[in-house]
A and B are shown apart, each in its own frame.
Chain A
């Protein structure tokens, strides 16, 4: 980082000291002379070229093509058909199924933050001390995150089904008398989203814990010691020192969690059998796939995909702008 800053300063012909006080007067002039030489465009092209080609072909181009297709009434076969302007978009935003799936995604975004955040923070704080078998605990907590999404979805479906493992066990314990009275973890419209939140928490809380534990390593022992000497209790230390210093890590985790929740597809599709019961666990990504592949409304589905893309992008940019601003300032301020 330091080298970069000096390089920038050098390039604009300003003294490093004047631009960035932190660099100080000790910046060696020999270094400045070296970086003032011409920019190595050849090397830049050589190293970034392949990545740029792949990125453009498989990311930029499909996004642009999708934007193009979304203005057509395309059924997935033959030519693109009729140009209909923004009709697909206005229909998508009026589609009650899409709106309810948007609400489901919003529920998942909010609940993931509210449930997983405090839970992971608590566990991370508890585990951030000398413990017997600490490595084993960490591994166990992280295992669900490593399990493939489809496997996790299929496994929990077997457990939570109407006649699944859990209800069968409860039946044998005498909690209910007959299978028909069993709890519809996945078939009760009021319960299914909470069941999904449970499975999502099981699956993703490990990532949050590992991230927070890594963040906790960066909290300097000196500060904690100083606080302890000043007579701060464990709670006070956590609340006033550890958690504030963990801020950047928490915000990064929130960012990942929000984007992941908006995009939720594979595990939810298997767990809830494509949004059952009666679409009450339907997500926006399921809507896109279903309209395109099952109903052959490719133009319409692509418009929904663009809406999903814009929602993700807006959420990401807003979060970056307002929540993570301080975290990004390090580089942004100088450049």
Chain B
């Protein structure tokens, strides 16, 4: 009985029974019909309700989005905005896919861009914003690219930032490291010095998968010419030799044992023994992570100010003699898309959210690097300022590879990279797994 029941729960999700979902989500109809008629008549603005799902579950971001919604309601008295903050992975992996599949989706929802969005566009779930947001696309600049498919815009980002290596200057000093590593060999030297000083050099949450995979992404970005990386985003062609070279270089690096003891079972963000926690608590010196790491780390220590005074950042080192652009950076961001049936007010709200004024306040109050260059002056965190500066100087900005290639190719790629870390896969197995996954699409 127990097996049947549990199986049934899974199957209900997997098969996405139209019957059940229709029964569960009948509430949405009432919200949308006035919107549709309001749009049709165009007369005296019939009341409209917009539902908005975002991934902020804690202040300051949670309160900030509510404030933005309230402001938008004040500017547009006929609009009611219903805001719901949902935990990031639940939102991305379960809530949004199920809502889209059921046909009762929120009007405005979190959008990570890349391959996942391409699939949503192919299924006809997203509103084509092309022509409606041209000014905003020009104003936001290059960071919009991951939210575009074949020249059409399906979402706008509110923040975008590259990743790099977060480190504890006091531990570098203790190990006698001058400056920050700019090349891979300098990084290896630093690792050796830290080990000699009895300090765990680099924390990586390999149990969570992607944090280890990001090491390979950066090796690939440094090993492959930018045009190869650029083309692979749309062609999913991973036959270039540089994808193998990246794995070979990474395997050499892994062989020097630069990572924390037990990294294979270390998670990325949960608790003091996670990779972020190890660095935040001074048990490891470095971690490769995105711009959000400041807020993760400060949440894992008793005294955030002491941590912030001893936390710094440098971009991923270049690899000597490799074919990649040394200034190339890997990054990602967050944006929002409108559901295909959403009222026009959804687009207005999206434009308001990504306006220079709102994003300036976002930078100051929430932290993070806003997508609008005009708002980046409002960044206060010293590390984020440095990151924004490097991003400005970068010749090529690549979206997270798993996001860009989509969940199927990205998932197989991450798993293959983990196997390289385990020593049970060869460098050539990674592009082979990616090619096989791309062919299965």
Question: Interface of A with B (CB < 8 Å)?
Answer: 57-59, 61-63, 65-66, 68-69, 73, 75-78, 97, 158, 161-164, 178-180, 182, 184, 186-189, 192, 259-260, 262-263, 265, 272-274, 276-279, 288-298, 301-302, 305, 308-309, 312-313, 316
Contact = CB atoms under 8 A, between A and B. Distances in A.
B101 A263 contact: no
Nearest to A91: B440
A61 B16 CA distance: 11
Contact of B100 (A77, A272, A279, A294): A77
A288 B122 contact: no
B200 A309 contact: no
B198 A262 contact: no
B264 interface: yes
A76 B97 contact: yes
B207 A273 contact: yes
Nearest to A309: B7
Interface stretch (B167-175, B363-371, B415-423): B415-423
B207 A305 contact: no
Nearest to B100: A77
B4 interface: yes
A298 B14 contact: yes
B264 A276 contact: yes
A171 B311 CA distance: 28
B283 interface: yes
* Candidate in A58, A164, A186 with the most chain B CB atoms within 10 angstroms: A58
A293 B263 CA distance: 24
Given A61-B17, A66-B14, A184-B265, A262 B3 contact: yes
B3 A316 contact: yes
Contacts of A309: 3, 7
Interface residues of B, number: 61
Contacts of B123: 77-78
Interface stretch (B64-72, B181-189, B406-414): B406-414
A66 B11 contact: yes
Contact of A78 (B14, B122, B283): B122
Chain B at the A interface: SS class: helix
Interface string B269-291: 00111000010000100000000
Contacts of B124: 78
Contact of B265 (A65, A158, A273, A292): A273
Interface in B203-257: 206-209
B393 interface: no
A149 to B, nearest CB: 12
Nearest to A288: B10
A185 B93 CA distance: 30
Contact of B119 (A75, A97, A291): A75
A309 B10 CA distance: 11
Interface string B1-29: 01111111011111111011000000000
Given A277-B422, A278-B421, A294-B93, A69 B198 contact: no
Contacts of A295: 407-408, 410-412
Given A278-B424, A305-B14, A62 B8 contact: yes
A58 B265 CA distance: 36
B320 to A, nearest CB: 29
Nearest to A84: B440
A217 to B, nearest CB: 24
Interface in B269-318: 271-273, 278, 283
B12 to A, nearest CB: 5
A289 B89 CA distance: 13
Contact of A187 (B119, B263, B424): B263
A277 B206 contact: yes
Given A188-B262, A259-B3, A301-B14, 12 more contacts: A58-B8, A62-B12, A63-B4, A76-B101, A78-B122, A161-B262, A180-B200, A184-B265, A189-B264, A273-B208, A294-B93, A297-B411
B207 A162 contact: no
Contacts of B125: 77
B57 interface: no
A265 B7 CA distance: 12
B15 A263 contact: no
Contacts of B260: 162
A332 to B, nearest CB: 19
Contacts of B424: 278
7 contacts: A62-B8, A162-B262, A186-B262, A262-B3, A295-B410, A296-B116, A302-B11
A103 to B, nearest CB: 15
Contacts of B8: 58-59, 62-63
A180 B119 CA distance: 44
Contacts of A62: 7-8, 11-12, 15, 17
A297 B408 contact: yes
Interface string B415-441: 100110110100000000000000010
